[in-house]
Structure 1
Amino acid sequence: MEVPIDFEHKQYQLLAYLQQINAHFNRTQLYPNLNDLIFHYNNLKKFKQDKTTLETGFPVRLSNMDVAAVKITYEKIVNDDAMMQEIEQIINYAVSRIMPAIKEGREIHDFVSSHLAISEVGMQPLYPYQGYLLLRNGDEKGIRVYEYQVTLFESQHEKYRGIHTTYIAKYERHFVYNTPEAIRKDLIHARRELPNPAVYQVESDITFPVENTLLPLAKKTLVKAISALN
């Protein structure tokens, strides 16, 4: 909606933005790019929907009455001006370009998710909503440890869960000393505030960007696993 509202100018802006998104996707960097694309796409669709709702619900005024035929003709108060037509052209073009980018992002999302495996470490605690997430990333020689907390949010129509993570440390991999079970014992000993924590390990057999891809999808995988316990 910012000036200049010109189709060619907005087309250039959109293509430049999508070029940046594609560069990130080519490096398997999903977030926050995929969320941004979906946010913009939903806003565009909502604008079109709200405009249609406004038009159909707008009052009309009597423009002509033929008494003999008892015929009433109504004239709409609001008609699109040139600027609104230009905006609609821009929006239609943007929707047609953003949707394929979202599809590509979702394909990357599904590909990464298919290479993740989650497992419990130790006994399952009575309270699984707070604990530790162990993250193994392909060929990297280390296991990242995060403390996590899952929170339940409720709206008028649905319930959904959110997760917050805090980075704790990175353990070097060792088939004897730094096994997931050994890391769990070390965490319990070093961090007394969680005496019997839930511990989950999410591992990938392919190396992915951690902050932009692996960690966000590992968190989603963890929330899904915990939700399935209920």
Structure 2
Amino acid sequence: MNTLPTNWLTAGLLDFEYKKYLLLAYLQAAKNEFGKQRLYPVFSDLNMHYRNLQQVKAHKQLVYESFPERISRADFEKLELVYEKIVQDDETMQQIEEIIQYAAPLFNEALAEGKELYDFVERHLEISPVGITPMYHNEGYLFLEAFPGKETQVYVYRITVFENTYEKYRGINTKHLQTVRRGLALTHEHLKVQLLRERHDLPNPATFAVVSRIPVPLEHSLLPIAKRSLVKFVTNLAA
């Protein structure tokens, strides 16, 4: 799809009409992706651009990434560089602010559309444990089924936890193992037993099945949303 450079706001020709053209072409491409029910990577990309706009709006000195500059002072205690700008808050910065004022509500609108699609897909996912669930849930198997459920995508997953002073973050990594065509004789439980026989790296794995009740693209919507939903599900189990 039509992408937007990270530094689109300040790179190249700093002209309102030109930036407006770039932005509208990008947002139209994003909406086309949503129309195909393809959320990723465009939804993450939109969030990144919107956060960047808010940062520039709140801290105009962050515009340094695309303008000439010289370091005037280094504050090593806070691990940050303070830049003295050659470009001052004059007509150039006023143009940037004009572009931000135009772009921010349009990004908001596109993000709201993406969030609505995300919530719609998430509401139509069913997550359930397969077999006996051990006390340790941060690694195991994920059985993922798109609609209609003729095949099961088998992944091994690992949830990692990152902490800072204020809060705890959880991320998830998955590796695709195989695609299995299930039938009446091969239930999720039988599939788990089969994996235990074939693989010995996870002797007592947590295993969860995520089933979609609506047709959505696997790689661009179902898998990333299923991964985030599984993290929330496992977090609630541990609470």
Kept in 2, the 8 Å contact 1:140–1:207? The answer is no
Amino acid at match of 1:206: I
In the other structure, the counterpart of 2:214 is 206
- Whether 2:138 is the aligned partner of 1:129: answer yes
In the other structure, the counterpart of 1:28 is 37
> Structure 1 residue 79: deviation in Å?
7.4
> Structure 1 residue 201: deviation in Å?
0.2
Distance in 2, Cα, partners of 1:52 & 1:219: 37
Distance in 2, Cα, partners of 1:218 & 1:3: 39
* Cα shift readout 1:171-212 (whole Å, capped 9, x = no counterpart): 102012x21001000110111111111100000111210111
Q: Which consecutive aligned stretches of 4+ in structure 1 deviate over 4 angstroms post-superposition? A: none
SS, match of residue 228 in structure 1: helix
Kept in 2, the 8 Å contact 1:136–1:202? The answer is yes
SS, match of residue 196 in structure 2: helix
- Whether 2:189 is the aligned partner of 1:181: answer yes
Of 106, 112, 125 in structure 2, the residue corresponding to residue 116 of structure 1 is 125
In the other structure, the counterpart of 1:194 is 202
> Structure 1 residue 18: deviation in Å?
0.7
Kept in 2, the 8 Å contact 1:136–1:142? The answer is yes
Distance in 2, Cα, partners of 1:211 & 1:3: 34
Structure 1 gap segments, 5+ residues each: 54-77
Structure 2 gap segments, 5+ residues each: 1-9, 63-86
Q: Percent identity?
A: 45
- Whether 2:94 is the aligned partner of 1:89: answer no
In the other structure, the counterpart of 1:99 is 108
Once the two structures are superposed, the pairs formed by residues 35-114 of structure 1 within 5 Å of their partners are: 35-51=44-60, 80-114=89-123
SS, match of residue 168 in structure 1: strand
> Structure 1 residue 80: deviation in Å?
3.5
Kept in 2, the 8 Å contact 1:113–1:217? The answer is yes
* Cα shift readout 1:58-99 (whole Å, capped 9, x = no counterpart): xxxxxxxxxxxxxxxxxxxx9731111111111111112111
> Structure 1 residue 3: deviation in Å?
2.1
> Structure 1 residue 156: deviation in Å?
2.1
In the other structure, the counterpart of 1:172 is 181
TM-score by length of structure 1 reads 0.86
TM-score by length of structure 2 reads 0.83
Structure showing greater Rg: 1
Distance in 2, Cα, partners of 1:150 & 1:156: 20
- Whether 2:228 is the aligned partner of 1:220: answer yes
